[in-house]
């Protein structure tokens, strides 16, 4: 296992996930990448015609909100890397549906181990769309290290 | 350390072989204390009275299957010794309880086991373990 990707939510549980994943990466002499997925912001910048009297202030040519979220997420990953005590960690903010974005990143970057939390930040995720971790495990072609993050 | 005791959960299915190999490879690299776990699923020890097969005999057959699987895997391991655990019970519960009593830091298992239908994308045992474990779980795809 030479390339490890750690997927983090913006949530205090990220510390445990990052530390666990990085401990394995160090012990295995693997390179590490930290990723975070912005899954919802893009929906606010959809190019819909006004509906029900509502016209979104954001669209695909005016997505400051998305940019700001992206900058915030980038800072979050960078400070996580610093917290782990290293600058030799790649960071990447991804867009899209969380599980799909993580899986695509893993394929494109020849990752051989994914690390993620057992429960993500969304309280509604199990009700609405199923657990992200389960979805990643279902479709992954590489091993997935699930770090327990439930209370 | 967070990875000094690694528990590898297997069964006799072809699906779990890849997980077992991956787990042993990892354990070797991390110089971890390693155990192979095969939960003997007692719900399968039904026997068949009409065929003259008693439940006790059926259980013996399952035990033999477990022993052979673990012995076969253990000979493939090149690290320092490997513990073989064969509790009787049900995989869904006993993987978690064995991990706790043995003091595992990590569980390694496949997405599918013996009861996992190929067409299901993740087996029920793996889904249960990754949801309820208090320690990290490495799930290895069976394909």
For position A55, what pLDDT does the model report? Answer: 77
- Over residues B110-136, mean pLDDT: 77
Calculate Rg over the CA atoms of chain A: 16
For position B116, what pLDDT does the model report? Answer: 53
Alpha-carbon gap, residue B105 to B92, rounded angstroms:
18
Closest residue to B3, CB basis, from A27, A139, A141:
A27
Closest residue to A146, CB basis, from B30, B136, B141:
B136
- Over residues B120-127, mean pLDDT: 75
Is B26 close to A27, i.e. CB distance below 8 A? Answer: no
Is B111 close to A138, i.e. CB distance below 8 A? Answer: yes
Report which of residues A74 and B115 the model is more confident about: A74
Q: What parts of chain A have a pLDDT lower than 70? A: 41-45, 58-63, 121-130, 151
For position B65, what pLDDT does the model report? Answer: 94
Q: Are strands B137-140 and A144-147 parallel, antiparallel or unpaired?
A: antiparallel
Residue B74 contacts A, CB cutoff 8 Å: no
A64 token code pair: 């400051």
Which residues are CB-neighbours of A129 under 8 A, at least 6 positions away? none
Report which of residues B117 and B124 the model is more confident about: B124
- Over residues B17-34, mean pLDDT: 94
For position B51, what pLDDT does the model report? Answer: 78
> For B26-71, how does the pLDDT look when each residue is reduced to its tens digit (9 = 90+)?
999 999 999 999 999 998 888 777 877 888 888 999 999 999 999 9
Residues 84-143 of B with CB under 8 A from A: 111, 121-122, 126-127, 130-131, 133-141, 143
Average pLDDT of every residue of chain B: 88
Kindly identify which residue of chain A lies nearest to residue B32, measuring between CA atoms. A27
- Closest Cα in chain A, distance from residue B110 (Å): 9
Q: How many CB pairs under 8 A join A and B?
A: 62
Question: B2 to chain A: which residues are within 8 Å by CB?
Answer: 20, 23-24
Distance set, CA B104 to CA A80, A130, B5, B30, B138 (Å): 27, 28, 5, 14, 12
Closest residue to B22, CB basis, from A23, A141, A143:
A143
CB atoms within 10 A of CB A81: 20
Question: A26 to chain B: which residues are within 8 Å by CB?
Answer: none
Kindly identify which residue of chain A lies nearest to residue B1, measuring between CA atoms. A23
Chain centre to alpha carbon of residue A53: 34
- Over residues B88-99, mean pLDDT: 95
Residue B76 has pLDDT above 50, yes or no: yes
> pTM for this one?
0.88
Task: Please check whether residue A84 is in contact with residue A14, taking contact to mean a CB–CB distance below 8 angstroms.
Answer: no
């Amino acid at each position: 296992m030479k390339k490890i990707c750690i997927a983090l939510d913006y949530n205090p549980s990220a510390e445990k996930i990052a530390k666990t994943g990085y401990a394995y990466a160090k012990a295995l002499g693997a390179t590490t990448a930290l990723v975070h997925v912005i899954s919802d912001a893009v929906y606010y910048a959809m190019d819909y015609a006004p509906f029900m009297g509502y016209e979104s202030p954001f669209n695909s040519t005016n997505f400051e909100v998305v940019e700001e979220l992206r900058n915030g997420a980038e800072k979050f990953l960078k400070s996580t890397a610093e917290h782990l005590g290293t600058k030799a960690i790649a960071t990447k903010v991804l867009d899209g549906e969380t599980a799909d974005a993580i899986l695509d990143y893993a394929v494109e970057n020849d990752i051989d181990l994914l690390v993620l939390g057992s429960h993500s930040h969304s309280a509604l995720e199990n009700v609405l769309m199923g657990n992200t971790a389960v979805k990643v495990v279902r479709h992954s072609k590489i091993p997935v290290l699930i770090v327990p993050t439930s209370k | 350390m967070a990875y000094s005791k690694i528990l590898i959960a297997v069964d006799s299915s072809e699906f779990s072989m890849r997980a077992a190999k991956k787990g042993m490879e990892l354990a070797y690299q991390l110089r971890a204390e390693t155990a192979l776990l095969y939960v003997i699923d007692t719900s399968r020890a039904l026997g068949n009275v009409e065929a003259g097969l008693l439940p006790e005999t059926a259980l013996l057959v399952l035990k033999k299957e477990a022993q052979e699987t673990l012995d076969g895997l253990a000979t493939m391991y090149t690290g320092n010794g490997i513990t073989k655990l064969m509790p009787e019970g049900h995989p869904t519960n006993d993987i978690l309880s064995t991990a706790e009593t043995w003091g595992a830091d990590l569980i390694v298992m496949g997405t599918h086991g013996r009861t996992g239908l190929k067409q299901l994308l993740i087996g029920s045992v793996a889904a249960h373990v990754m949801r309820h474990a208090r320690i990290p779980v490495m799930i290895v795809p069976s394909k």
